[in-house]
Chain A
Amino acid sequence: MAKTLFEAVNVEVRRGMGVVLSNHHVELNQGDIMVLEGPNGSGKSTLIEAVARLLPLEKGHISHAGTSVVDHEGRRKTSPINVTLVLQKNGLLGCERVQEHLNLAMKMTGSTVDTATFLEAFSLTHRANDNVSHLSQGQARKVAVLSALLPAFASSEPCLVLMDEPDAGLDDRSMNSLCEWISELHHLGHGLLISTHDERIKSLATVRHHLPDGTTDIVEKGDREPRTTSDRPSTPHAKITPGQFGWNMQWRTLAWLNQNAMAALLTLGILLSMGDLSDNLSEMQQLGFILAPALAAGLCGDAMVAMCREERAGSWWYCVSTGTPHSGMLPFVLGGAITLLSSLAFTDDLVAETAVIGALLTGIVAHLLRFAQQSTERLARPQAVFIGLLTPVLILPYALLLDLLTR
């Protein structure tokens, strides 16, 4: 019997002030291609994003392979099955390379397949080592579509493939390849949920789900029995975590230098420009001066948060991985290094203990800021909120820390 890959039970989803899905029930089995049909604004993208755990539910719950992954009380769990996704936005960072992103997407399933034939079919072979930011809109769309399809080809277990208008911007040749691959994944036993207005993709449907009324038609086809083996050899690979990815991107873009390190260096420079204060300061004031650059570095937050707003890359990561990319240990390393520098500048001495405190200060403050920034990611304009107004909450703990350390 075919396994149910996802089930949305009596789901209600609101966007803005409107109810987009109300008391909605739908399920998808492995080996099914479910095409969502309906006019613009009928809730197709909303359903895909709800199934991808990207939207909160007002009522009901959504389960993946029998495990509830999101419910109306706000409980969320990581999906027990491999989920792949292409949103209307591409979910790519401009600083990622094409081949790198595809490998990354496949590694989420624990294995990879050779990408040469896929890149060739999409005329992307010559772009494999280019940054995504160098691609045309159509080429970037192809990379986004491949990052939803390739993990399913690499996975030995049934995958849930979520695609929101994958045909947007694709040429005829690419559309033919896309339809072949969708058909192949169906035969391999994966489940596909696709929102589209394209008749070629619609003709592949085994199930048609109509929105906004929520009715479902089963399309009779002769080849519904799923095949279980793939002729594409896969290679096992370790999964990459959001922290590892964030670390890599930070070093590639040097965003930490622009954001955190510059704030720390400027603070240090301003304090030093006041002259030699070491004789006139109490022990607590001196420690406050030494640690101030580390605090300033932390107060700038995590550059990955802003980076992940590009093309909804953070949403893509949240769906296919265990969380959104972050800078991981980088703020701790930066805090330690800047405190050593600051200690040297103020006291002509390198104190390891102070460097550890500086590392913890920058790391903890930067990650607290990240949590605060990420808490506004649901908003229509997350970049427009005034999260910096809340950062003075950290001044008093900083003063108390200095008091404690010099008591």
Chain B
Amino acid sequence: MKMKVGEVLLLFGFTGVATTMMLAFLWAPSVSINAFEEPAAQRIFYWHVPSAWAAFIAFGALFVGSAGWMFKRSELMWRIHIAGSEAGLATGLMTVWSGCVWGAAEWGTPWDWSDVRLNTFGLLTLLAIYLVLGRSSQPDGVETRDTFAAFGLYGFILVPFTYVATRIWSIRHPGPVIGTNDGGSLNADMGLILLIGTLSFTLLIFGHMLTSMRITAFEQRIEALQIQLDGGK
């Protein structure tokens, strides 16, 4: 069977992520033992940062899909909403889980309720869980779509807030790495692995969303055929 674009991207994404992990564990330079409590745990950063980047892409797609459904009533946009929430859930969990592992090693606690970045990102992930589980509990319909698209729109407020949280209110979480001119703390090898990881996760997340949209389109076709069999319009 011929592979679709989404599946090709997924394949390249998975290969890239595996390469990143291999480089992170075998080739990346160690960090200074003076700057970190647990220098070895820092290697999880090559997984944590790209997955957070992919999560922002997914939540961006969620916002676009939600807005597109609310204002255009577009089936394509609803599929993007679904793909964005599912991808946001997957990458959000990857980020939160890896962050907790590093936090436990470096800070001595996996979670800090007073840290703004941790909490807003955790909430974004909870929003994704809410959207995915909530939607699966309801029959598809304009009421379901409107309600969850509205939550998707309101929830997106957290995305820019999460991104700037460490700039305006840094408590424990380190500052941003992607999207800044201040890359001085990374040496060239670290930067290269991070770049490979970021590109791989980007491919992975786009592949995930395209595949998810295709599955949703199939589900919608099946639903339409079932309605036809029921004698409906």
Contacts and interface: CB of A to CB of B under 8 A. Distances in A.
B134 A386 contact: yes
Q: How large is the interface on A (under 10, 10 to 19, 20 to 34, 35 or more residues)?
A: 20 to 34
Contacts of B223: 17
A378 B116 contact: no
A380 B139 contact: yes
Contact of A375 (B116, B123, B150, B233): B150
A16 interface: yes
Interface stretch (A192-200, A245-253, A261-269, A388-396): A388-396
A74 to B, nearest CB: 9
Interface stretch (B140-148, B182-190, B211-219): B140-148
A17 B141 contact: yes
Nearest to A372: B151
Interface string A145-178: 0000000000000000000000000000000000
A15 interface: yes
Contacts of A387: 130
A376 interface: yes
A385 interface: yes
B224 to A, nearest CB: 8
Given A16-B141, A378-B143, A378-B146, A389 B119 contact: no
A396 B147 contact: no
A375 B147 contact: yes
A56 interface: yes
Contact of A386 (B130, B140, B227): B130
Contact of A389 (B126, B139, B141): B126
Contacts of A392: 119, 122-123, 126
A396 B140 contact: no
A379 B133 CA distance: 14
Interface string A281-294: 00000000000000
Contact of B130 (A17, A379, A390, A403): A390
Contact of A17 (B119, B138, B140): B140
Nearest to B139: A380
Contacts of A1: none
B137 A385 contact: yes
Interface residues of B, number: 30
A381 interface: yes
Nearest to B120: A396
Contacts of A378: 143, 146-147
A384 B136 CA distance: 10
B144 A389 contact: no
A17 B69 CA distance: 13
A275 interface: no
A386 B133 contact: yes
A375 B130 CA distance: 14
A390 B126 contact: yes
B85 to A, nearest CB: 13
B114 interface: yes
A14 B113 CA distance: 43
A395 B138 contact: no
Contacts of B113: 395-396, 399
Contact of B147 (A17, A58, A379, A403): A379
Interface of B: 73, 113-114, 116, 119-120, 122-123, 126-127, 129-130, 133-134, 137-144, 146-147, 150-151, 223, 227, 232-233
Q: Which 10 residue pairs across A and B have the least CB separation, nearest first?
A: A16-B141, A384-B137, A389-B130, A385-B134, A14-B142, A378-B143, A396-B119, A389-B126, A386-B133, A399-B114
27 contacts: A14-B141, A15-B142, A17-B140, A17-B227, A18-B232, A56-B146, A58-B73, A58-B142, A375-B147, A375-B151, A378-B143, A379-B138, A380-B141, A380-B144, A381-B137, A381-B139, A385-B134, A385-B137, A386-B129, A386-B133, A390-B123, A390-B126, A390-B127, A392-B126, A393-B126, A396-B120, A399-B113
